[in-house]
Amino acid sequence: MYDRDLESIQRARELARKGKIAANKIAEFTEEQIDKIIKNMVRVAEDNKFYLAQMAVEETGFGKIEDKMFKNHMASTMVYDAIKDMKTVGVIEEDKEKKIMKIAEPMGLILGIVPSTNPTSTAIYKSIIALKARNAIVFSPHPSAFKCTLKAVQLMCEAAIAAGAPENIIQCVEICTIEATNELMKAPEVALIIATGGPGMVKAAYSSGKPALGVGAGNSPAYIERTANVKKAISNIIASKTFDNGTICASEQSIICEKCNEKEVVSELKKQGAYFMTEEETKKVCSLLFKKGTAMNAKFVGRAAEVIAAGAGFKVPEGTKVLVGRQNGVGLENPLSYEKLTTVLAFYVVNDWKEACDLSIALLQNGIGHTMSIHTEDEEIVRKFAKKPASRILVNTGGTQGGTGASTGLMPAFTLGCGTWGGSSVSENVTPEHLLNIKRVAYGIIPCEELGKNEVVSKECCKLLETKELNLEEKLESLNKDELFELIDKIVASMKR
């Protein structure tokens, strides 16, 4: 009479209790202790980056081992390099003039929800930023990436404990059920949820009644404006879209060019490995990729272009990197206008930047708030597109590498906020700073009894400057240096009264 769901709930409760104990202990650690722990976690992640990448590809079938290796490297070494000097213990900022101190306190136990597309790198990244902020963390993996996520979590936990962290500082659900995840979401010990995954899971996190950092779907358009270096733009787009076979949500989903550079863009795409599908082939690919409306078929997430073409029943030239399908608009009649976490791109042609603006906004409605890219040499165009409803406006770089902070100055991250446009509580790349409670110690700088006298002070100042013959501007111009200083002293004296 074994009930798997009930056992998973009981196990989840135990994880929460143990995690809270660990959170209380690590809250007392010093900056030096925390840095020692994280350094060891980074070392272990680097030592196992190939092994974990291989596990992830074998278990999920998504992406490429070499790219998942880089993601593991980015989630560990690159994240550490970016946050190592970040103050997360005690007084982190002090304004002596305003007499305010900011003091960092950990949140406690964090629940990390892990997607199947970036399982090991997300587990590494969230473990590091959680402990940097002196929090404990418990993970709920995606069922299709359970084994590789569990292994990554175990490695991070062992590394942390070996460097002095408390037992159970990093844990993972071992009976992977929806019931277990729901139990953790409402567990009293859990202080915050970081949800990275599908829209349903992110919505559940925000509906749990707990504070949550959630990120939804992306649908990033890439606009190649008429002044762009087309060869460089295509190179960046191809490198981004083929990285791990398009599994990162900041990767390009559509290319927009202008009629004046269409021929050059199409020619360069073909040179660099893009295959332009016929209308019939595009329909076949759309029917393959999407099930139940715009929900993507998991069998073709993170797959090579040749695999997708073969699945749709047609052949592509050897060396084809991405499949490109022309679309006439946005919506259900143009399925490629939706997010495709694989090696397929929609293609649009517009007359000018104004049409590109309107089309970008329409496309972003299907992944609102996430990311968009623009390729241009015109700074004024960049400023115009900076008004679009996307949290990351990337210029002359790839969406994948730019959005995650690998090729830009953004903070390296695998949880990319979408702002209120996308139903997210943050619009930045999530860092340890988002996992802290910041207390403010503020000293009184104005006597309370003097507050409310501004109106009286204002009237007194006006009297000092009063004259029948001259207006204020003329009065000030008529004063010599000594008279001006005398007037200032009188005004200051009146304010002190």
pLDDT at position 435 over 90: yes
E strand intervals along 358-454: 369-375, 390-395, 436-442
CA distance linking residue 454 with residue 166, whole number of Å:
55
Among the listed residues 41, 212, 253, 4, the one whose alpha carbon sits nearest the alpha carbon of residue 113: 212
CA distance linking residue 492 with residue 25, whole number of Å:
52
- The reported pLDDT for the residue numbered 224 is 98
Please answer whether residues 341 and 299 qualify as being in contact, where contact means their C-beta atoms are separated by less than 8 angstroms: no
- The two structure tokens encoding residue 392: 């990351």
Instruction: Spell out a b/e string for 440-460, using b for 16 or more CB atoms within 10 Å of the CB, else e.
Output: eeeeeeeeeeeeeeeeeeeeb
pLDDT at position 86 over 90: yes
Average pLDDT over residues 108-119: 95
What confidence category does residue 468 fall into, taking pLDDT thresholds of 50, 70 and 90?
Answer: very low
Mean pLDDT for the chain? 91
Domains contained in the chain, CATH given? 4-216+432-441 (3.40.605.10), 220-409 (3.40.309.10), 450-496 (no CATH)
- The reported pLDDT for the residue numbered 232 is 98
- The reported pLDDT for the residue numbered 469 is 46
Average pLDDT over residues 394-421: 94
- The reported pLDDT for the residue numbered 478 is 67
pLDDT in tens, 391-406: 999 999 999 999 999 9
Positions annotated as catalytic residues are 249
- The two structure tokens encoding residue 301: 């997430």
Q: In terms of DSSP bridges, do strands 100-106 and 90-95 run parallel, antiparallel, or are they unpaired?
A: antiparallel
Among the listed residues 169, 160, 177, the one whose alpha carbon sits nearest the alpha carbon of residue 109: 169
- The two structure tokens encoding residue 377: 């040499």
- The reported pLDDT for the residue numbered 2 is 74
- The reported pLDDT for the residue numbered 388 is 86
354 by Cβ neighbours in 10 Å (0-12 / 13-18 / 19+) ranks as exposed
How many CA atoms are closer than 13 Å to the CA of 166, on its beta-carbon side? 20
CA distance linking residue 36 with residue 87, whole number of Å:
15
CA distance linking residue 19 with residue 22, whole number of Å:
5
Q: Strand pairing partners for 171? A: 138
- The reported pLDDT for the residue numbered 387 is 86
135 compared with 4, residue with greater pLDDT:
135
Please answer whether residues 189 and 208 qualify as being in contact, where contact means their C-beta atoms are separated by less than 8 angstroms: no
Read off the pTM: 0.88
CA distance linking residue 170 with residue 45, whole number of Å:
14
